[in-house]
Amino acid sequence: MKIYLMRHGETEYNRVGRLQGQSDIPLNEFGIQLAEKTAEGLKSVSFDAVFSSPLQRALETARIVSGSRDVKVETDERLKEIHFGAGEGARFDEAKKDEAHPVHNFFCNPGCYVPKGDAESFDQVRERGKSFLEDKIFPLEAKLTAEGTTLHGSENGNVLIVAHGAFNRCILNRIAGIPDREFWTINLPNCAVSILSLEGGELRIVEASRVYYGTPVNGRP
């Protein structure tokens, strides 16, 4: 099975450098265009299932990319972006300059990031990502393997998952063995698609952070 793990298109918060977290910010016009170009780049891929974060920037991206395919977009709360609590809405530049800011280490020293209040840690995000994969994706791979067929004619089964920058990095970093202190190693622009293979319950990164448009935008905060 191949998993297409995708980040949503651009929002106004992305454009001006503000932290979104679980704030429900929609795509801007450019973000819609990026999703449409990505849909064109993936038009030959048949998806057996499509999953999305319920936050509208991800869900709208998933609907654009899935297009007219005969497959329902299923939302899952576990795919939401990391929650920053009181830090949501913060400007990147201000948080980076102020060592006392609650999300300063998230940007500048992620190996020492400790969430404040009801904000989430990297471990909490990884755990809900793991829960989602074990609940929704691994059983689907086992089912398709046992049946020797796919739902929509793809060779080995393809799944689209549309989520968020920090969430996707938590998944990719765990697979690649990247420690939290190097959290920003993988550049993930808006609408970046990372292709994973899943076989026998083992995940492998085939290609990280592919874009289907021109110059990548908002790859790192």
Please give the Cα distance from 10 to 26 (Å, whole number): 9
User: Do the beta carbons of residue 31 and residue 14 sit within 8 Å?
Assistant: yes
Please give the Cα distance from 99 to 112 (Å, whole number): 12
Please give the Cα distance from 35 to 8 (Å, whole number): 8
Active site residue 164: no
Distance set, CA 199 to CA 35, 48, 79, 127, 140 (Å): 28, 16, 22, 21, 11
Query: Bridge partners of 203?
Result: 198
Active site residue 81: yes
Among candidate residues 81, 88, 120, 141, the one labeled active-site is 81
Q: Which residues are catalytic?
A: 8, 81
